[in-house]
Amino acid sequence: MSPGPFATLDPCVHCGFCLPACPTYLVTGDEAESPRGRIVLMRALEAGTIAPTDAALVEHLDHCLGCRGCEPVCPAGVGYGRGLESARRLLASTRGIRGDARLVLALFRRSLWWRPAFGAMRVLRQLGLTDWFRGSSRIGTSMAMIAATRPALSRTSRRHRTPGNGPQVALFRGCVMDVLFDHVHQATRRTLEANGYRVIEVAGQACCGALHDHAGDVAGARALAERNLAAFPREVPFIVVNSAGCGALLKDYGHLLGGEAAQHFGARVRDVTELLADRGPRRGGRVDLDLVYDAACHLHHAQRVVDPPAAVLAAIPGLRIQPLPGSEECCGSAGIFSVLEPALSQAVLARKLSAISSLPRLPDVVATGNPGCLMQIGGGLRHRGLKTRVAHPVEILDWSYQAGGVYGPSATSRRVQGPVPGAQGPVLAD
């Protein structure tokens, strides 16, 4: 007999080690908003003692961020993420997907729909119109998040890239990353090539499908995954991704789709920090910044990629890195969670912002490896009037390579706060 869809929850002994690792429990103090409480609810759903239409059940499962912070701390090795996935699929198949989620997910099914939407956001950002909106309204919060997609540092020069002679790497562009964070794609390409990789572009890509999968829309997720499976050549040894949420699902295509081809696809996926760490990475020039690193949930917990981001940052002279209390805790973004559950999302974010603002020195930059985290944290910092900006770790390495002349002769510049003796490279953007 094959195991049931909730079999990964079987090892749970209800010890409670997961409670302090759960962002929604820390905010609400409600046992039903914890992994342990939700496992009880999922077991009742499986047994049929709670109906899939039960309002309390739906609410508590909808409130889960899916950050999987409970998994690394579980002494019994409970696969909470798989259980949540099964529960949400069951709910979606019986009650359907809630209307607001259905509208958002529809946007991501085709680039003909999401590309103009994100393009309009980019225009608002470039024109500075996002800065006109203040306050805690939904519009103000959204505009702050869009503003946070602006590159944190301006570049002093654009140098010709020299492709390496090492392994070939295909760049996964995604949707949000492709339009709002193209500067991260550029940095990814430059830094990988500086470390010997040959980066190629692949046509015909689609959204990774993570948002659909997390919402229980398994058909939508599989349709997008099939398109990506067909687009990427089998002979390319690595597929590089710089979005933690995308990377977690891309690596899991074997589970989502089944079959050897999907397994082969997932086995080739690497976060950009993994590839860079495998090559060293090459040391750059001095970047004089105060920095904290916030671990994106789907990189740290789901993919278990913990050390490579630190290796990337360690290759950058001049960084003054402070430890961030609760750096492994979710920021409250969680894909479209911030859209569907704004109040709870902001409550979770408040813990992160308080941790940042309480540091001995307010950092210049918060580094994190996921677009949702960059927007959520960056928007929150802007809303609080803090000067701290957000950036992907690979961006900072790119700035360092500029400063060190890795791409060619470097140009001397200064930070916006004033000259820093011996500093080279980027200027902190406003």
pTM for the model stands at 0.89
Q: Is position 116 within any domain?
A: no
- 294 and 403 in a single domain? The answer is yes
Residue 89: CATH number of its domain: 1.10.1060.10
Q: Greater confidence, 251 or 338?
A: 251
- 304 and 373 in a single domain? The answer is yes
- 290 and 411 in a single domain? The answer is yes
pLDDT of residue 2: 59
Q: Is position 25 within any domain?
A: yes
Task: Give the pLDDT confidence of 116-127 residue by residue, as tens digits.
Answer: 777 777 777 777
Q: What is the mean pLDDT of residues 19-26?
A: 96
- 286 and 388 in a single domain? The answer is yes
Q: Is position 342 within any domain?
A: yes
- 65 and 151 in a single domain? The answer is no
Q: What is the mean pLDDT of residues 242-270?
A: 96
Q: Is position 319 within any domain?
A: yes
Pick from 96, 112, 130: which residue ends a domain? 96
- 290 and 402 in a single domain? The answer is yes
Task: Give the pLDDT confidence of 186-244 residue by residue, as tens digits.
Answer: 999 999 999 999 999 999 999 999 999 998 899 999 999 999 999 999 999 999 999 99
Task: Give the pLDDT confidence of 395-414 residue by residue, as tens digits.
Answer: 999 999 999 999 876 444 33
Domain count for the chain, please give it.
2
pLDDT of residue 166: 84
Q: How far is 33 from 63, CA to CA, in rounded Å?
A: 7
- 37 and 151 in a single domain? The answer is no
- 289 and 373 in a single domain? The answer is yes
- 41 and 150 in a single domain? The answer is no
- 81 and 150 in a single domain? The answer is no
First and final CA of the chain: distance in angstroms? 60
Q: Is position 359 within any domain?
A: yes
- 419 and 285 in a single domain? The answer is yes
Pick from 96, 115, 135: which residue ends a domain? 96
pLDDT of residue 324: 95
Across 88-102, 210-224, 415-429, least confident range: 415-429
Q: What is the mean pLDDT of residues 337-346?
A: 88
**Residue 73 — very low, low, confident or very high, per pLDDT cuts 50/70/90?**
very high
- 38 and 150 in a single domain? The answer is no
Pick from 81, 96, 111: which residue ends a domain? 96
Q: Is position 175 within any domain?
A: no
Domain span including residue 355: 146-155+278-428
Q: Is position 288 within any domain?
A: yes
How is residue 161 written in tokens? 């890239």
Task: Evaluate whether 317 touches 283 at the Cβ level (below 8 Å).
Answer: yes
Task: Give the pLDDT confidence of 114-170 residue by residue, as tens digits.
Answer: 677 777 777 777 777 667 666 556 676 777 777 777 887 765 445 555 666 789 999
Q: Is position 139 within any domain?
A: no
